Each structure stands twice: as C-alpha cells, then as structure tokens.
A = this chain, B = another copy of it.
Amino acid sequence: MENNAFSKLRKELLDLANLSQLSSLLEWDQNVNVPSGGHRARADVMAYVAHLRHEKFVAKKFENLLRTAVESAENGKLENDESFIALKTLSDFKKAKKLPTEFVGESARLYGESYQVWVEARAKSDFLLFEPYLTRIVQAKKQEAEYLGYIKSPYDALMDNFEPGLTTEFASKIFDQLKAFMVPFVERIGSSRVKIDRGFLYEKYPIKKQSQFVRVVAEKIGFDFHKGRLDVSTHPFCQSLHSTDVRLTTRFDEKDFINQALLSVIHEVGHGLYDQGLPEEYFGTPLGESISLGIHESQSRLWENQVGRSWSFWVYFYEDLKKSFPSQLEGVSLSKFYRAINFVKPGLIRVDADEATYNLHVILRFEIERDLIEGNIEVAELPDVWSRKIKEYLDLIVPNDARGVLQDIHWSKGLFGYFPTYIVGNLYAAQFFDTARKQIRRIDSKISNGQFSELKEWLKNNIHVHGRRYSSEELLFKATGNKSTPVYFMDYIKAKYSEIYNL
C-alpha cells in the first residue's frame, strides 16, 4: 500500500501537473488557433494560470505535505521511486522559493515590456532603442543569480535553469575546444572546389503534397499520431500536454520545402518522441519529466541531423520524394540531393545556419552572456563585440543590428543561459548516436530500409524512460560509457563534411 504522506504529495503534484498542462494547451492554442482579436484575453488567462500554479507550489500547504513525505523518505518508509520523487521535488521547491515573489513579478513585467521594445528595435534595426532595456535585464539576471546562488560564476546559476549541472568553466572549456576545430574547418570547406547546386530545393513544392509527405515521414520514423498531432504555426515547435497528447507544429513555404518543413518536422518529431516516451504512470512527477533542454534538444538534433540529413535516410526516402515531386527533382540524383541538403556556408542568421556553422553562432552568444553576467563587458559594447566575433568565427561583416545583435528573441524575454543548451544538444546527439550505432547491428542498412524502430527503442530505453532520474551527465555516462565531450560531434562533422567537400 502506498504511504499516506506520499499519496497526498502525489495528489498535489498531479494538480500542479494539470495546471502545467493547461499552460501548455493555452500556449499551443495561442500559436495555432487564437483569432487575431483574441490575443488580449488569451494573455490574461495565461498569466492567471501561471500565477495559480506558482501560488500553489510555494504555498505552506504544499510545503507541509512535501516535508512530511520527505520525512517518510528519510525514515525509510517510502519505496525507492517514491523517495526519489519526494527528494527531487524538495530540491525543485527549494529552488523556486529562492526567488522572492515580488522579484519574479517585476522581472516578468520587465521582460514583457522589453519584448515589445525589442520587436520595435529589430524592425528599425536600432540597438540603441533596446539598449536601456537590455541593461536592466542584465541587471535583473545578475540579481537572479545572486538569489539562486552559485559557487564560481554567477552565470552558472542561469545555465542551471535550463541545463542543470552545466558550469561556465566546463562549457567554456568544451566550447573553446569546439571553436578551435570548427573555425578552421569551416574555412577549409569554404575553400573547397566542390560546388553544390541546390536550386532545385527552391522550386515550387505544392503545400498539400508537402503536408502529406511530412506526415508519412513523421509516422514512419515513429511519431504516434494516436498520441499526438501535427499542425501549422509561424514558428515550428513541440508542445507536450501529456505523454498521450504531444503536439508538433511546422510551417510550409512553397519555395522551401526541405529546410522549412521537412527537416523541421523531423526535428520536432525528435522532441515529440522524447515526450511520448516519458513514462505515463509517473505523469506529474520528476520521473515523468524530461531532464533538461540540452537532452531534449539532443533528441531533436539527432533525428534531424544524424538521421534526417544522412545518406542512409535518403536511400530509403528519396524514391518516394521523387514520386511526390517528380518535376521539381527531375534529373536530380540521390547524391546531388544529399549534398544539397548538407550545403555549408557561413551566414549571419543563427536559425538559418547549417550543421557545421550553427554552433559558432551559439558560442558567440554564450561568450557574450557569460561576459555580461560576469561583468567583463557592458551592454553598450554589444554591437562591436558581435561584429568582431562574427568576423573572427565566420569571416563575415555584420551590416546592421537587425541581422546582428538584435536577431534573437531570447534576451528580450530574459532567457539568459538558454543558448548553450543548443550546443550541448548537438554534442549529446553525436555522442548518443555514436553509441547507438555501435549497439544496433547494421543500423545504416536498417535506416536505408526504413527500419527506425530499433533506434527509437534504443533512445526510449536509454533516455526517455528515465525521466529526471539521472542528471544529464549521469545519463550520458550510463548510456554511452563516457563523460560528455565534443569529440564525438567533431568526429562526426569531420567525417561527413570531409567526404562531401572532398577535403
């Protein structure tokens, strides 16, 4: 029989999870369905639900239930999983209590205003408009770090919000290692004589056929449409309400099928498989939740890049693609197609970047965030710092703020410490996939035959089913037998692009 103190805690956790589920539905619906006139009412109800959840979580009633359950755990009265849930929840609770309610409220208001200003500043390509707001945001984030506490760098506390356990010291070290390899490697690609034609990717691909094709691919690689959906929104995302109701979105651009829709759906399916793979019986507890943004991103990147941009994948799907789009792909061989979807060229915009240059965009942001939070640079210097780094890493000139320092939404929303999860996602993906390749016999030939289930199961059994039982680092070690390292990613990039660009 379940321990009484734990049952009560579990009941409260379910209520909290129901409120989170409501927030997820409201947000999904906001992006997919809300009519133009309905956004004000929607913002009100979203704020209300977020407030309700926070209030409930930090309430004395919840704290008492939690402390009683933790006591039972400490007295050995709980099962292992129950004990884990109680203790992990206590650590979440302690973290949530560190931020004073007024501070959370004021910060939310600041980010709300700043977002509006950022939209305008970006439209006008004028960093000076945004600068005073960003200055206040950096101030607030420094304050937040002080509230949260840290050992070495205040930036540790901010990264911990998204990738628990990742330190500034460790990230700086591996990102430097990555940069030292990537910058010259991208230069070598740039001077390769191999010319890649990709005009055919930008032919007109009718949207109805695009939509049919991406659904077939999503289902084939394992997304369960009985427990999920695929809709259209401005920016693609994956929103999970519950492991039985996982919602992906994409966009369709008639003149850019492969990048805008197809690979983006494969990316979101990666997120979706993680959410569908979380253990349903633990819904609402730390054992039913994903570990971190980095681990989540590793799943999407693995399916998008290691699988979706691989030769084997297209050995299987290319024939169907040609059948669906015969005139667009007339005379385009598989190898021509494969090279086109793996074209590398430094650009100014992060979200348009290819696999090889993407991390450099993020390293730049990481370095700026770290240096701002540690007080080594000032907000006013950002346009210069940005230009200098873009020149150094990608050998490009930044023409204006809109295509430079103002391009991303993150800072305006107070998201500091979020960017690095994109890189660790890429590194984890390469490390997981390398292990999966070793453990799944003849994986390439299976993929070439459209057999994705073993890979899906490997990811589920090694990653998804564990919820938050392990830290990212522990999980990685358990699944791959190695600590996290950029070596797998560098080897993967080197092998793949040396072959494509004949280096």
CA distance A325 to B219 in the complex (A): 36
Contact for A37 among B18, B26, B244, CB less than 8 A: B244
Residues in B whose Cβ lies below 8 Å from that of A15: 48
- Chain A 3-32, CB-CB to B under 8 Å as 1, else 0, gives 000000000001100100110011001000
Q: Tell yes or no: A41 within 8 A of B by CB.
A: yes
Q: Tell yes or no: A224 within 8 A of B by CB.
A: yes
- Chain A 302-342, CB-CB to B under 8 Å as 1, else 0, gives 00000000000000000000000000000000000000000
Q: Which of A226-234, A350-358, A442-450 contacts B (4 or more CB under 8 A)?
A: A226-234
Q: Tell yes or no: A45 within 8 A of B by CB.
A: yes
CB <8 Å contact, B244 and A40 = yes
Q: Tell yes or no: A100 within 8 A of B by CB.
A: no
CB distance from A225 to the nearest CB of B (A): 7
Q: Tell yes or no: A381 within 8 A of B by CB.
A: no
Q: Which residue of B lies closest to A39 (CB)?
A: B244
Beyond A21-B45, A41-B242, A42-B245, is A35–B283 a contact (Cβ under 8 Å)? no
- Chain A 271-307, CB-CB to B under 8 Å as 1, else 0, gives 0000000000001000000000000000000000000
Residues in B whose Cβ lies below 8 Å from that of A225: 35
CB distance from A175 to the nearest CB of B (A): 39
Total copies of the chain: 2
CA distance A37 to B229 in the complex (A): 11
CB <8 Å contact, A45 and B22 = yes
CB distance from A7 to the nearest CB of B (A): 16
Residues in B whose Cβ lies below 8 Å from that of A34: 245
Residues in B whose Cβ lies below 8 Å from that of A199: none
Q: Which residue of B lies closest to A26 (CB)?
A: B25
CB <8 Å contact, A226 and B18 = no
CB distance from A44 to the nearest CB of B (A): 7
Residues in B whose Cβ lies below 8 Å from that of A45: 18, 21-22
Residues in B whose Cβ lies below 8 Å from that of A18: 44-45, 48-49
Q: Tell yes or no: A36 within 8 A of B by CB.
A: yes
Q: Identify the interface centre among A34, A37, A49: most chain B CB within 10 Å of its CB.
A: A37
Q: Tell yes or no: A172 within 8 A of B by CB.
A: no
Q: Which residue of B lies closest to A21 (CB)?
A: B45
Contact for A245 among B37, B48, B224, CB less than 8 A: B37
CB <8 Å contact, B41 and A283 = yes
Q: Tell yes or no: A439 within 8 A of B by CB.
A: no
Residues in B whose Cβ lies below 8 Å from that of A29: 25, 29
CB <8 Å contact, B26 and A244 = no
Contact for A38 among B14, B37, B245, CB less than 8 A: B245
Residues in B whose Cβ lies below 8 Å from that of A226: 35-37
Q: Tell yes or no: A241 within 8 A of B by CB.
A: yes
CB distance from A187 to the nearest CB of B (A): 47
Residues in B whose Cβ lies below 8 Å from that of A49: 18, 22
Q: Tell yes or no: A33 within 8 A of B by CB.
A: yes
- Chain A 109-151, CB-CB to B under 8 Å as 1, else 0, gives 0000000000000000000000000000000000000000000
CB <8 Å contact, B41 and A229 = no
- Chain A 44-88, CB-CB to B under 8 Å as 1, else 0, gives 110011000000000000000000000000000000000000000
Residues in B whose Cβ lies below 8 Å from that of A42: 245
CB <8 Å contact, B224 and A37 = yes
Q: Identify the interface centre among A15, A34, A283: most chain B CB within 10 Å of its CB.
A: A34
**Which chain A residues numbered 199 to 237 have a C-beta less than 8 Å away from chain B?**
224-229
Q: Which residue of B lies closest to A42 (CB)?
A: B245
CA distance A44 to B244 in the complex (A): 13
Beyond A18-B48, A35-B225, A228-B35, is A244–B25 a contact (Cβ under 8 Å)? no
CB distance from A434 to the nearest CB of B (A): 33
Q: Identify the interface centre among A49, A227, A242: most chain B CB within 10 Å of its CB.
A: A242
Contact for A227 among B37, B228, B241, CB less than 8 A: B37
- Chain A 235-265, CB-CB to B under 8 Å as 1, else 0, gives 0000001101100000000000000000000
Q: Identify the interface centre among A36, A224, A225, A244: most chain B CB within 10 Å of its CB.
A: A244
A/B interface sample: 10 pairs, CB < 8 A: A21-B41, A22-B22, A25-B26, A25-B29, A33-B229, A35-B229, A37-B227, A41-B244, A41-B245, A41-B283
13 extra interchain contacts, Cβ-Cβ under 8 A, other than A22-B22, A22-B26?
A: A22-B45, A25-B25, A25-B26, A25-B29, A29-B29, A33-B229, A35-B227, A35-B244, A36-B226, A37-B224, A40-B244, A41-B242, A41-B245
**Nearest 10 CB-CB pairings of A with B:** A38-B245, A41-B242, A37-B227, A37-B226, A37-B244, A18-B48, A38-B244, A18-B45, A36-B226, A41-B244
